[in-house]
Amino acid sequence: MRKTKVAVNGNGVIGKRVADAVSLQDDMLLSGVCDVSADWRIRVAASNDYSVYAFDEASGEQMKTAGIDVQGYLPDLMAASDIVVDCTPKNIAAQNIEHYKNAGLKFIVHGGEKHETTGHSFSAENNYQSAMGRDSTRVVSCNTTSIVRTLTALKKAGLLKRARGTLLRRATDPWESHLNGIMNTLVPEKDIPSHQGPDAQKVDPELDVITMAVKVPETLSHLHYWNVQLTRNSSREEILAAFASSTRTAFINYSDGLSANNAIKELMLGIGRPYGDMYEVAMWEDMLKVVDDELFYAYVVDNQAIVIPETIDAIRALTDLEADGSKSIEKTNSSLGISGSFFENML
């Protein structure tokens, strides 16, 4: 079986997870991980027997000093790969993209980049097909992924008229919460509408969605509150059935003790997810409310994890590994333990 050789550039929050997920796919091969860091983070990558490449000579020297077995530099990794997933910070990514293009290498960027960098914004359950064979795509951000995923389900059911959301964003990620963060305060995003609504429309222009966003002092995950104007009066049952059509949206229940973001995180650790990652949108089933033609609901988004399965699917689409989006999704889900329910596997 042909295996797509995948390079990961940037061993950060997203990069290390993409590398782990690629390693789990039977139709992919992790060609290597490239980074600038020479500290404990790259040592963890090395300990997983990933091939480590240095971004440049300076970082290569530091890695060698730290005892890392450096396989080469970014161009070497690119030469050994069919596609590169760029997981570097914003400004760096823009430069990298030029390198990939010049080398004629397919690539994927993430939600920090603008739509225009690739001309295509990806969300598997919405537009897998349109990414087939492309040179590049952008896997949209964690927040946007959750929006597209959930609203696509409502749209497919013919129920979506207009969605208005308030997004509570975790202030920083756990691994760097000693470096930057906010304390005992809330920080609204200045612009209303916030960028996530227009961003979702880059994937699907038909989505009528406006968002407001605020940074909150926790590190675990985002929390979204939605008020949706439906196309007609509906019922809880109908709405739940619509959301259940997304394989990457899973219901949780407040009555089951899952009443806060930390409890959800502990559940993920308990069921053995690496890093306690949650790839699914976790939607509270027993909080969801329908009032005539209005729908109210809340869900949790693991900002570190939700784009990982999307990225795996995007690799398949770009490299023509799988022509059927739903088959790719199923394959990815299976490899990562995504079953549509956190408990289905258990009982």
Q: Whole-angstrom Cα distance, residue 231 to residue 290?
A: 13
Instruction: Specify the residue, 127 or 146, whose C-beta has the smaller distance to its own copies.
Output: 146
Active-site position among 142, 148, 250, 307 = 142
- Out of 6, 33, 46, 87, name the contact with its own copies by CB under 8 A: 46
Angle (CA) 178 221 32, round 5°:
75
- Out of 58, 79, 269, 323, name the contact with its own copies by CB under 8 A: 269
Answer yes or no: 142 catalytic. Answer: yes
Instruction: Specify the residue, 73 or 225, whose C-beta has the smaller distance to its own copies.
Output: 225
Footprint of its own copies on residues 1-30 (CB under 8 A)? 16
Instruction: Specify the residue, 117 or 229, whose C-beta has the smaller distance to its own copies.
Output: 229
CB 252 within 8 A of CB 259: no
Cα–Cα nearest to 73, from 94, 88, 51: 51
Q: Is the peptide bond before 193 cis (omega within 30 degrees of 0)?
A: yes
CB 222 within 8 A of CB 168: yes
Q: Whole-angstrom Cα distance, residue 284 to residue 268?
A: 16
Question: Nearest distance from residue 91's CB to its own copies, in Å?
Answer: 20
- Out of 135, 256, 293, 330, name the contact with its own copies by CB under 8 A: 256
Instruction: Specify the residue, 105 or 216, whose C-beta has the smaller distance to its own copies.
Output: 216
181 binds its own copies (CB under 8 A): yes
DSSP 176: G
99 binds its own copies (CB under 8 A): no
- Out of 62, 172, 231, 245, name the contact with its own copies by CB under 8 A: 172
CB 284 within 8 A of CB 195: no
- Out of 183, 235, 237, 292, name the contact with its own copies by CB under 8 A: 183
Footprint of its own copies on residues 283-302 (CB under 8 A)? 284, 286-289, 291, 294, 296-298
- Out of 84, 87, 124, 267, name the contact with its own copies by CB under 8 A: 267
Q: Whole-angstrom Cα distance, residue 328 to residue 321?
A: 9
Number of residues in contact with its own copies, rule: CB under 8 A?
Answer: 80
Q: Following CA atoms 96, 100, 106, 107 in sequence, which dihedral angle do they give, to the nearest 10 degrees? A: 0
- Residue bearing tokens 């970014």: 74
Instruction: Specify the residue, 109 or 167, whose C-beta has the smaller distance to its own copies.
Output: 167
- Residue bearing tokens 């404990």: 40
- Out of 260, 293, 337, 341, name the contact with its own copies by CB under 8 A: 260
Burial state string for 177-194 with b = 16 or more CB within 10 A and e = fewer than 16: eeeeeeeeeeeebeeeeb
Question: Nearest distance from residue 284's CB to its own copies, in Å?
Answer: 7
- Out of 104, 190, 205, 235, name the contact with its own copies by CB under 8 A: 190
Question: Nearest distance from residue 107's CB to its own copies, in Å?
Answer: 25
Instruction: Specify the residue, 44 or 323, whose C-beta has the smaller distance to its own copies.
Output: 44
184 binds its own copies (CB under 8 A): yes
Instruction: Specify the residue, 54 or 220, whose C-beta has the smaller distance to its own copies.
Output: 220
28-36, 148-156, 168-176, 231-239 -> range binding its own copies (CB under 8 A):
168-176
- H helices within the chain, ranges in order? 13-23, 40-47, 57-65, 74-79, 90-102, 124-131, 142-156, 196-203, 236-244, 261-270, 307-318, 325-336
Q: How many residues does the chain have?
A: 347
Footprint of its own copies on residues 201-240 (CB under 8 A)? 210, 212, 214, 216-220, 223, 225, 227
Angle (CA) 59 61 64, round 5°:
110
44 binds its own copies (CB under 8 A): yes
- H helices within 103-223, ranges in order? 124-131, 142-156, 196-203
User: Which residues are the active-site residues?
Assistant: 142
